[in-house]
Amino acid sequence: MASRSAARGPNPATEAQPALLLTDPAALARHERLSDEIYGPVSVAVPFSSAEELLAAARRLRGHLTATLFATERDLAQHRELVTVLAGKAGRLILNGVPTGVEVTHAMHHGGPWPATTDPRATSVGTAAILRFARPICYQDFPEASLPEELRDKNPRGILRLVDGRPTREAL
């Protein structure tokens, strides 16, 4: 069953209409696409008759950017296993909120397991996003003159480096 909003924005030809899709646990299990991540104003509602049924559905999920729980502290305590399962399925868990308004902060993570992202170790938002474009490489037994400037003992660029676990700009 689907319900669509009758409201229209200022650009109806290019704007998506919000929709709420209602299905049941059996259909959700049969049709994997119902649990795919959707980009846009769409929600899929599935009423479950038991915590076990909900947990089974959560285990079948593939990777998502976010997972939202509407719960109390007591609910969280009673359903720890669900939170654990969702933590393995999403890059960001949201409690009693909606996954909008991504703020660029040191703590922000906007990624998740496949297929939500191609690299679950990185984020596409936040200060750590630069790591998506970095690839570690090791220069073993290279002479000083053959190393990139950033790796030379004298640190000619004066960049901040991590040496023996300590940040420093000093020459070695």
pLDDT single digits (tens) 6-43: 777 788 777 778 888 999 999 999 998 998 877 778 88
Q: Check residues 100 and 138 and name the one with the higher pLDDT.
A: 138
| pLDDT reading at 1 higher than 90 | no
Distance of CA 149 to the CA centre of its chain: 35
pLDDT at position 103 over 90? no
Q: What confidence tier does 50 reach under pLDDT thresholds 50, 70, 90?
A: very high
Q: Contact, 113 vs 91, CB < 8 A? A: yes
Q: Is the pTM of this model over 0.85?
A: no
pLDDT score for 101: 60
Domain extents for the chain? 15-133, 137-172
The candidate with the shortest Cα–Cα distance to 90, out of 60, 111, 70, is 111
Pick the CATH number of 15-133 from 1.20.140.10, 3.30.360.10, 3.40.309.10, 3.20.20.150: 3.40.309.10
Q: Say whether pLDDT at 54 is over 80.
A: yes
Report the mean per-residue pLDDT for the chain: 83
* Residue-level pLDDT at 113: 66
- Per-residue exposure over 123-145, b if at least 16 CB sit within 10 Å of its own CB, e if not: bbbbebbeeeeeeeeeeeeeeee
Contact 113, 120 (CB under 8 A): yes
pLDDT tops 70 at residue 112: no
- Res. 141: pLDDT tops 70: yes
For 43, the token pair is 């929600």
* Count of alpha carbons within 13 angstroms of residue 145, beta-carbon side: 0
